[in-house]
Amino acid sequence: MTTTPNVTVKDSGQLAKGNIVLTHGMRVRLDQLTIRKDSGHAVYAWSGTVLNLDEVREEGHVPMSWLRTWKGLVVDRENAWTIQGNGFANWLVENPS
């Protein structure tokens, strides 16, 4: 039996490094934040690491090609995901145990 971990809802501006966001069947640990302005509003983009890669691969939650990043012509990562949004986007974040 699978249980859902305790979660908190946070908007994009409340996310913090190390948070684990649940999205599209993935557990994504937030690693690095980039903020830009669009029409005077902050847009947040967190680069992250997919922690349950085997499950994502097995269940086909997202195409594996979407998890790749490239350096030139060489794939440098196959477990990357970006969490992005503004103050209106909400995310499910695992509570620390």
Extract the runs of DSSP E, i.e. beta strands, from the chain. 7-11, 20-23, 26-38, 41-50, 69-71, 74-77, 80-85, 90-94
pLDDT single digits (tens) 51-82: 999 999 999 989 999 999 999 999 999 999 99
Question: Is 2 a domain residue?
Answer: no
Position 3 scores a pLDDT of: 53
Q: Has this prediction a pTM greater than 0.85?
A: yes
Q: Domain residues for 84?
A: 7-92
Predicted confidence (pLDDT) per residue in 36-50, tens digit: 998 889 999 999 999
Give per-residue pLDDT as tens, 80-93.
999 999 989 999 99
Classify residue 97: in a domain, yes or no.
no
Cα–Cα nearest to 19, from 6, 30, 5, 27: 30
**Is 61 a member of any domain?**
yes
Q: What percent of the chain has pLDDT over 90?
A: 87
Nearest to 29 by CA among 41, 21, 37, 40: 21
Flag whether 28 is in a domain.
yes
Name the domain count of the chain.
1
Structural domain includes residue 56? yes
**Domain membership flag for residue 1:** no
